[in-house]
């Protein structure tokens, strides 16, 4: 009994919980504390539950500025739309706008202020739009981080709607895409490298009609047919496991219409043009290879001045530095190395075919080579008709023009039929016609100006002397 007493009294003196809880002060404190804890717990629970509910009930789409859909969505958001009902019309007003201005010097008042087009779009912050029956919360945000390549701050647009209305997004994206397609209808987008990215070079320009580029008989048709045939054969390539790529090399003297033709061809095919100038400073092998892996969809790759890479034949300097421009091996790798995109139509242009290396002209790199050369009689006649066809109905002016060019030996032969070593370019003929816009006779009178300003074989020039054009 004593033993029992002593054992029970010893712990009770140490942890006398009953006594502790009997203490009203302590019990009160504990009660309050646990109430607080419960409240905090409940609050946290509520936040988690809300978050979960949000995640379950709402759908979010985030579009970053790097995505091609970004400008489409902004344009779509800025479309005027009528919302019936007091609440809807108040709720969906966009109060915060930003403006993108494009100017063009088209129009009558040349010299005066140019035409400006303002494109209003939702500014940064939150907006609500209504699409069909769905309310959509829009949040446009600029981040404090920037794209390392372009230096532009990251930007996103976030669209949120109820889970039940999630299908609205598909409709919105397709509507926005159609809107963008309509805005660019009849236009050719030209992309150029900006940093390590492709960016549209200025506003999309009006399509150049294929008919406005005058090539020698049959030349245009041969390329157009080949490209169209290639475009219709994708499955053929896929079935055979061949990369779906085709390359063209256009070469010839300056001003023969190489660049113009590619631009017109892109318009004809409803493609854009992704342009890289290989002689451009800062275009390195790595950059070229990287850019080619992420070519804009539906665009022709245009590599201008391909000979620049031949000049840079040297591979790498001793210190491993690959130089400031593209090397020959860099070009070959970009065209059909591992990093080369799976789908691609590439056009290379050069003025110096003699600097070319046979390694380039291999199927898969260049499949077709075409020379766009000096103006032929056929081209001169076609161009005349394009410029003066409406005033020179009987074609007599054209005959006199062609005869004059022949007299001047500009078609390669002189009056006796011997080689004259003299040619002119289609660009020069265009220049002559532009100068004499409404004056066909003036063009004939000034035809002498088409004689190229360069040394000719029969000219005797003392060593070292430079003959400047008149």
Ligand X SMILES: Nc1ncnc2c1ncn2[C@@H]1O[C@H](COP(=O)(O)OP(=O)(O)OP(=O)(O)O)[C@@H](O)[C@H]1O
Q: Under the rule (CB under 6 A), what is the footprint of ligand X?
A: 213-215, 254-260, 351, 426-427, 430
Q: Residue 270's closest CA among 376, 384, 186? A: 186
Supply the minimum distance, in Å, between the C-beta of residue 393 and ligand X.
22
Smallest distance, Mg ion to C-beta of residue 445, A: 30
Residue 290, class by beta-carbon neighbours within 10 Å (0-12 exposed, 13-18 middle, 19+ buried)? middle
- Which one of ligand X, Mg ion, none interacts with residue 196, CB within 5 to 8 A by kind? none
Residue 24 contact, options ligand X, Mg ion, none, Cβ 5-8 Å cut-off depending on partner type = none
Stretch that binds Mg ion, among 9-17, 52-60, 250-258, 315-323 (CB under 5 A): 250-258
Q: Work out how close the CB of 257 gets to ligand X at its nearest, in angstroms, rounded to a whole number.
A: 3
Choose the one of Mg ion, ligand X, none that binds residue 428, judging by a C-beta under 5 to 8 angstroms depending on kind: none
Q: For the CB of residue 145, give the shortest distance to ligand X in the complex, in Å.
A: 40
Min CB(54)–Mg ion separation in Å = 55
Nearer to ligand X, 382 or 420 (CB): 382
CA distance 271 to 297: 9
| Residue nearest Mg ion, CB atom distance | 259
- Nearer CB in complex with ligand X: 60/259: 259
**Torsion on CA atoms 272, 276, 282, 286, rounded to nearest 10:** 90
Closer Cβ to ligand X, 64 or 259, answer by number: 259
254 binds, among Mg ion, ligand X, none (CB under 5 to 8 A by kind): ligand X
373 touches, from ligand X, Mg ion, none (C-beta below 5 to 8 Å by class): none
With CB under 5 to 8 Å by kind, the binding choice for 260 among Mg ion, ligand X, none is: ligand X
Instruction: Give the strand pairing for 299-304 and 343-350.
Output: parallel
Spatial distance between the Cα atoms of 216 and 214, rounded to a whole number of angstroms = 7
Contact partner at residue 255 from ligand X, Mg ion, none, CB < 5 to 8 Å by partner kind: ligand X
Q: What does the alpha-carbon distance between residue 102 and residue 205 come to, in Å, rounded to a whole number?
A: 13
Nearest approach in angstroms of CB 351 to Mg ion is 8
Residues whose CB falls within 8 Å of the CB of residue 162, separated by 6 or more in sequence, listed in order: 57, 58, 59, 134, 135
58 binds, among Mg ion, ligand X, none (CB under 5 to 8 A by kind): none
Report whether 314 contacts 206 (CB < 8 A): no
To ligand X, the closest distance from the beta carbon of 208 in angstroms equals 8
In the bound state with Mg ion, the residue whose beta carbon lies nearer, of 258 and 398, is 258
Please, what is the minimum distance in Å from the beta carbon of residue 213 to ligand X? 4
Contacts of 225 by beta carbon, 8 Å cutoff, 6+ apart: none
Q: Determine if 284 is a binding residue for Mg ion (CB under 5 A).
A: no
Minimum distance from CB of 318 to ligand X (Å)? Answer: 34
Using CB positions, name the residue nearest to ligand X.
Answer: 257
Where on the phi/psi map is residue 434: left (φ > 0), alpha (ψ -120 to 50), or beta? alpha
**Nearest distance from C-beta of residue 459 to ligand X, angstroms:** 24
Contacts of 204 (CB under 8 A, 6+ apart): 184, 187, 188, 189, 190
256 binds, among ligand X, Mg ion, none (CB under 5 to 8 A by kind): ligand X
CA 419 from chain centre, in angstroms, equals: 46
For residues 41 and 435, which CB has a smaller minimum distance to ligand X in the complex? 435
Query: Cβ of residue 353: shortest distance to Mg ion, in angstroms?
Result: 14
Question: Among Mg ion, ligand X, none, what binds residue 426 when CB lies within 5 to 8 Å by partner kind?
Answer: ligand X
Report the partner that residue 430 touches, choosing among ligand X, Mg ion, none (CB closer than 5 to 8 A by kind): ligand X
* C-beta closer to ligand X: residue 33 or 434: 434
398 vs 423, which CB is nearer to Mg ion?
423
Looking at beta carbons only, is 122 or 373 nearer to ligand X?
Answer: 373
Beta carbons of 394 and 400 less than 8 angstroms apart? no
Among 150, 259, 322, 413, binds Mg ion (CB under 5 A): 259
* CB-nearer residue toward Mg ion: 138 or 301: 301
* Binding footprint of Mg ion on the chain (CB under 5 A): 258-259
């Amino acid at each position: 009994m004593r033993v029992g007493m002593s054992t029970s009294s010893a712990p009770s003196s140490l942890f006398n919980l009953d006594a502790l809880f009997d203490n009203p002060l302590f019990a009160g404190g504990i009660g309050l504390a646990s109430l607080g804890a419960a409240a905090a717990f409940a609050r946290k629970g509520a936040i988690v539950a809300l978050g979960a509910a949000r995640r379950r009930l709402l759908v979010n789409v985030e579009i970053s500025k790097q995505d091609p859909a970004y400008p489409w969505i902004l344009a779509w958001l800025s479309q005027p739309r009528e919302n019936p009902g007091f609440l809807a019309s108040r709720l969906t007003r966009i109060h915060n706008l930003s403006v993108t201005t494009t100017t063009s010097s088209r129009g009558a008042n040349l010299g005066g202020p140019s035409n400006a087009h303002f494109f209003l779009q939702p500014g940064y912050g939150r907006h609500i739009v209504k699409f069909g029956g769905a309310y959509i919360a829009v949040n446009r945000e600029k981040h404090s981080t920037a794209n390392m390549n372009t230096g532009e701050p990251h930007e996103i647009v976030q669209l949120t709607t109820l889970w039940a209305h999630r299908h609205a997004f598909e409709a919105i994206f397709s509507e926005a895409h159609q809107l963008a397609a309509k805005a660019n209808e009849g236009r050719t987008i030209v992309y150029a490298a900006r940093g390590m990215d492709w960016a549209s070079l200025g506003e999309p320009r009006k399509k150049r009609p294929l008919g406005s580029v005058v090539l020698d008989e049959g030349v245009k048709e041969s390329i157009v047919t080949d490209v169209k045939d290639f475009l219709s054969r994708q499955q053929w390539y896929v079935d055979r496991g061949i990369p779906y790529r085709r390359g063209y090399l256009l070469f010839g003297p300056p001003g023969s219409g190489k660049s113009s033709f590619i631009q017109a061809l892109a318009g004809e095919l409803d493609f854009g043009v992704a342009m890289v100038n290989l002689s451009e400073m800062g275009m390195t092998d790595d950059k070229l290879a990287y850019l080619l892996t992420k070519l804009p969809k539906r665009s022709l790759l245009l590599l201008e001045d391909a000979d620049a890479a031949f000049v840079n034949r040297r591979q790498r300097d001793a210190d491993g530095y690959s130089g400031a421009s593209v090397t020959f091996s860099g070009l070959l790798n970009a065209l059909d190395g591992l990093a080369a995109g799976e789908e691609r139509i590439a056009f290379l242009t050069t003025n110096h075919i003699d600097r070319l290396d046979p390694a380039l002209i291999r199927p898969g790199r260049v499949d077709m080579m075409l020379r766009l050369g000096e103006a032929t009689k056929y081209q001169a006649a076609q161009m005349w008709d394009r410029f003066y066809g409406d005033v020179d109905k009987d074609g007599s002016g054209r005959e006199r023009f062609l005869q004059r060019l022949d007299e001047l030996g500009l078609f390669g032969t002189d009056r006796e039929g011997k080689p004259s070593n003299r040619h002119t370019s289609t660009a020069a003929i265009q220049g002559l016609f532009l100068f004499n816009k409404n004056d066909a006779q003036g063009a004939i009178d000034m035809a002498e100006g088409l004689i190229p300003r360069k040394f000719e074989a029969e000219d005797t020039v003392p060593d070292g002397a430079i003959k400047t054009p008149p």
